[in-house]
Structure 1
Amino acid sequence: MATVHHWTGLEARALRLSVRTFAQKLGLAVATVSKWESKLADIEPRPDTQAILDTALGHADAAVHLRFETLLSEMAGPLTVSRRRVTASGPRAWEYESWADDLDRVVVALSRQNFTFADSLLTRWLSRFKVPELDEKGLYLFARSTALLGDLKRDQGAVLGPLSAQQSYAGARAVFTRLDIPRRVAQLDLSLAVVAEMSGKLEDAARGYESLAVDDRLSRRDRARARLWVGTALSKHGRHDYATRVMTAATRDFEDLTEPEDWSVAHQKLALARRGAGDLTQALDFIAIARSSGTTASPMHRVRLDTAYGHILLSDAATRDDGLLVLDQAAKTAVRYGLVHQLRSIEGIRAVYEGPARLRQR
């Protein structure tokens, strides 16, 4: 709750409901309160009156405090804020609401790969408050913000090291553990497993996915995602047929749960597993389903679909030129939106096929 260090007419105006009612409650003349109204920050009540105002604020309920803090924030200019005449322990009630609203905006910005805007929203809050000064609600919002920062760093390709996805996820996990929210902790474990896979630690990632695929802390959708990523790790290890079976089971879960975006992603990953197995006909069937059923037009999703499609086309000499064109388009989109990890994947695929082609031209 707010504490006023130095009362003026401004703070008094924010506290009252009506001039007459407020004057009667404080035992003061209506003219005195009206004078505060007109002078605002340019008038200071006498010390004994300031004590009365302190008592009135201290006895006020939460609704009055919320109105007081909100009105004062709206009326006060930069000078009032800089003088710190009013302080509160951690975020004030209206700030919690603004923080939660900004996190919703971050989710939308990340879905559109608007990293600059998402980062500015997150930095606004993460730089404003420190963990020791936050209550449980503040800690929850802080941990959510840190987890979303991890998503941002992951999509930008900053996977390991300082200021990385791994660091952000670990920090968010520590706060959710402190708050004793098992589901959020498990979700962060899933995110950390993704980081392990992206950094090439496939065995660690596979073990993490396998454990989380049967973890009751997670929702059925998150467990299905873990199962799908088990299949991804298996496919990268060359176990394509086993990976296909695991992914197919996850695909059925997404269908039962009516999760069209996850269902589309699952078909994209199935397509790559069949490409790895040398079954290009089925790979093309799966990627066609993924490309036609995607429910989002996000740049990330388009790049992933085009990268998978181009990879499959490159696997057949008859469609290799088409594959290179598709990858070129995917690379342009990745560059435009700063999708560094995806761009590295595209460059790696191109290198595999363009190297032998250059040797043949010699």
Structure 2
Amino acid sequence: MVSVQQWTGREAGALRAALRMSMRAFAEHLGVSLRSVAKWESLGTEIQPRPDTQAILDTALARADAAARARFEAVLFPGRRSTRRADHENWTEDIERAVVCISQQNFPFASTLLNRWLARLDPRQLEDKGLYLYGRSLVLLGDLQRDQGALVGPLSARHSYLTARDIFTELDVPRRVAQIELSLAVVQEMSGQLEAAARQYEVLAMDERLSPRDRARARLWVGTALSKQGSNEYATQIMTAAARAFEDLGEPEDWSVAHQKLALARRGAGDLPLALHYIDIARSTGTADSPMQRVRLDTAHGHVLLSDAATRNDGLSVLDQAAQAARQYGLRHQLRSIEGIRRGEQG
């Protein structure tokens, strides 16, 4: 939303025009004299209202509806470009299609759908609705980059998420800001910053800006980061609590993922029978059919099987299957994880 750092007669006149009020109605709306309003419009940039009147003008702009704010911005910045309502509808449709494509790991088409807007539009020239859609598109681009393993750098998930967080902070949408902070913590974990990620997950697990499901996910990911650090017993306790939360919330897919992660934590603790028990639950109860989740599940299954000499060959076979799917869908981060597991077994 446009803001005014220092009101002059020019900005005051633009606000009156945007509100479509006569000078008398505008004076009454602000609670100032008609003479003051006439003086502002007569002198323009050569006059600045008193500090208390500046605050009154701030309040009047903040309380204006979206259409009036757009008119105000158009008067002050006639060169700025806005998206039309038809653009908003088309853009929203492309975002919804991109969500489906990313869930199916169809990254090239998802990238095309998002970048047809991101590459064409300047966020500094968008009104609030357009800026909101720009932020949503950036988040989805970040999800795409994260799934592909592009974690840091100017063309990375981290960069896209940080830019989107700035946009939703400006728009004052705290739920979106918190969701992005959760995604940034995931990027930290994937980048190997396990302690920092665990701390951030713990904070977000108590953050009321997030939905109960997202807070339960944050608790689960605390356990994931701890398990990667070797704190498997404590990680198991946290993951079990998260699994119960998913059961209470009626989230079967998240419940299945929690058991997948519990299997890896029990494997890390050396409890292979329980690890196999949990991975069997995850394999039999998962409802999603995305390539990403299949690769993750096969990777976890193969990792558990490799831990027992009797099932080592089966584990290698399952990992080969996971690696093939990861290469097919461009899941570079998952492929690196599989290669790391293989190197660990060879070492």
TM over 0.5: yes
Report the alpha carbon displacement of residue 235 of structure 1 after superposing the two structures with TM.
0.6
Q: Which has the larger radius of gyration?
A: 1
> Residues 201 and 219 of structure 2 are in contact (CA less than 8 Å); yes or no, is this contact kept in structure 1?
yes
Matches within 5 A, 1:102-113: 102-113=94-105
Alpha-carbon separation, structure 2, partners of 1:346 and 1:176: 36
The separation in 2 between residues aligned to 1:247 and 1:352, in whole angstroms, is 25
Q: 2:161 aligns with which of 169, 176, 179?
A: 169
Structure 1 equivalent of residue 269 of structure 2: 277
1:37-83 deviations in whole A, cap 9, x for unaligned? Answer: xxxxxxxxxxxxxxxxxxxxxxxxx9xxxxxxxxxxxxxxxxxxxxx
Query: Any conservation in 1 of the 2:101–2:110 contact (CA below 8 Å)?
Result: yes
Which residue in 2 is equivalent to 1:77?
none
Give SS of 1:163's match: coil
Q: Among residues 180, 187, 190, which one is paired with 2:179 in the alignment? A: 187
* Matched AA of 1:210: E
Question: Following superposition of structure 1 onto structure 2, how do residues 260-299 of structure 1 map, counting pairs within 5 Å?
Answer: 260-299=252-291
Cα offset for 1:217? Answer: 0.7
CA distance in 2, matches of 1:222, 1:190: 8
What CA distance in whole angstroms lies between the structure 1 residues aligned with 2:121 and 2:326?
A: 34
| Alpha-carbon distance, 1:354 to partner | 2.3
Equivalence for 1:147: 139
Aligned match of 1:125:
117
Q: Which amino acid aligns with 2:257?
A: V
SS of structure 2 residue aligned to 1:326: helix
TM-score (norm 1): 0.73
What's the counterpart of residue 134 of structure 1? 126
| Aligned position for 1:348 | 340
The answer (yes or no) to whether the contact 1:90–1:129 under 8 Å persists in 2 is no
AA at the equivalent of 1:344 = R
Shift of 1:88: 8.9
Structure 1 residue 242: Cα displacement = 0.7
Structure 1 position 309, deviation (Å):
0.3
Is 1:219 the equivalent of 2:216?
Answer: no
2:11 is aligned to: none
Question: How many equivalent residue pairs?
Answer: 270
Structure 1 residue 330 corresponds to structure 2 residue 347: no
Whether contact under 8 Å (2:80, 2:125) holds in the other structure is no
Q: CA deviation at 1:237?
A: 1.2
2: distance between equivalents of 1:240 and 1:203? Answer: 14
In structure 1, runs of 5+ residues without a counterpart are 1-61, 63-86, 356-362
Q: Is 1:312 matched with 2:304?
A: yes
* Cα distance in 2, alignment partners of residues 154 and 235 from structure 1: 21
Quote the sequence identity (%): 68
- Distance, in Å, in 2 between the alignment partners of 1:264 and 1:179 is 35
How far residue 90 of structure 1 moved from its aligned partner, in angstroms, is: 1.3
In structure 1, how many angstroms separate the alpha carbons of the residues matched to 2:124 and 2:223? 41
Q: CA deviation at 1:127?
A: 1.2
Hey, what's the Cα distance between the residues in 2 that align with 1:234 and 1:320? 26
Q: Which of these residues, 221, 224, 234, is aligned with residue 226 of structure 2?
A: 234
Which residue does 1:38 correspond to in 2?
Answer: none
Residues 52-71 of structure 1 mapped to structure 2, 5 A cutoff: none
State whether residues 186 and 197 of structure 2, in contact with CA within 8 Å, keep that contact through their aligned partners in structure 1. yes
Give the superposition deviation at 1:183.
Answer: 0.7
Match runs of 1:32-111 below 5 Å: 89-111=81-103
> CA–CA distance in 1 between the matches of 2:113 and 2:332?
21
Amino acid at match of 2:295: V
In structure 1, what residue type is equivalent to 2:324? K
Asked if the contact 1:272/1:283 (under 8 Å) is kept, the reply is: yes
Which consecutive aligned stretches of 4+ in structure 1 deviate over 6 angstroms post-superposition?
A: none
Q: Secondary structure at the match of 1:128?
A: coil
C-alpha deviation, 1:89, in angstroms: 3.5
The alignment partner of 1:158 has SS state of coil
Asked whether the 8 Å contact 1:190–1:209 carries over to 2, the reply is yes
The Cα RMSD (Å) is 1.2
C-alpha separation in 1, matches of 2:317 and 2:346: 13
Distance 2:156 2:114 in 1: 15
